[in-house]
Each structure stands twice: as C-alpha cells, then as structure tokens.
Amino acid sequence: MALGKHGGQAKPTDTAATLACRGYSSKRGKTTELAEKWFKYCRAEIRVDRDIKFGREELAHYYFAQAVFTFEGDHWNTYRTGLFDRLQGSQNKDGSWPASDGISVGPVYSTAMWCTILQLDKRSHPSMARHP
C-alpha cells in the first residue's frame, strides 16, 4: 500500500492513482515488487461486484481501471467483465449512472467517469492520447 504524506496508510484511490500515473506496467517491463503489492491491495479493496458505491467510488475506478489495463495477464478481462456487467445493470433509463448514494457532485460527473473508463476497452481513453 502506498503511504500517505504523514506516513499512514493511504486509501485505495491514492494507491490506484499512483499505479496509473506512474505508469507501472508489466507490459512495458516496469513492474516492481512494490507495484505488484499495490496492485493486489487495490484489487482487493476496489470491488467490481455489488459492492460498488455509486457516487463514491468513481475516482477509484477511474485510476484503477487504467492500472488494470496495463498489467499483464487476464486482469483486464476479469475486471472489465465484472465492471461492465455491473455498470450495465445499474445504468438509469436516460443512460446516466446514479450518484445519490454518496458524496459525488452528481450524475453528470458519475456518468462522465464511467464513460471514460469504458473507453479503455477501445483504447480511446484520454490517457492514451497520441501526441504529434
């Protein structure tokens, strides 16, 4: 687990953000023992089953999905299947996702975050933008 700035244990969102932003990728040969430990921690804490808390966990999934996508193995397929099934089952009739169960800024934010995550599957996520 990543350490917080005061030496305490960080939250899963912070750890997932570190994995995503630092570019720890087993596909690129950059995985370290510490990155593997953080990945396992996030996988245990950031759930894709019925325990997703809409309105609270969008940011954690935003970062963790990017980390999962870059790790070798079947991690992405497992995560993707569970998450996409859960998202499809929770989507409102107007296409948005709920945000009322938490502290989110609203359904527009929640929907934007989930849609951005869904873009990973087609490699059109903003983090994959190609620069000239």
Higher pLDDT, 61 or 4: 61
Predicted local confidence at residue 129, as pLDDT: 59
CA distances for 15 relative to 89, 92, 95, 108, angstroms = 27, 30, 30, 25
CB distance 126 to 72 below 8 Å: no
Region of poorest pLDDT, from 6-10, 30-34, 119-123:
6-10
* Closest to 53 in 3D by CA, of 103, 126, 91, 124: 103
pLDDT in tens, 59-114: 999 999 988 888 767 888 899 999 999 999 989 999 998 886 556 678 888 899 99
Task: Tally the residues of the chain.
Answer: 132
CA distance 97 to 95: 7
Percent of the residues in the chain that have a pLDDT greater than 90, as a whole number: 23
Binning pLDDT at 50, 70 and 90, where does residue 131 land? Answer: very low
* 3-class DSSP assignment, residue 88: helix
Binning pLDDT at 50, 70 and 90, where does residue 6 land? Answer: very low
Predicted local confidence at residue 27, as pLDDT: 53
Predicted local confidence at residue 28, as pLDDT: 54
DSSP letter at 130 equals P
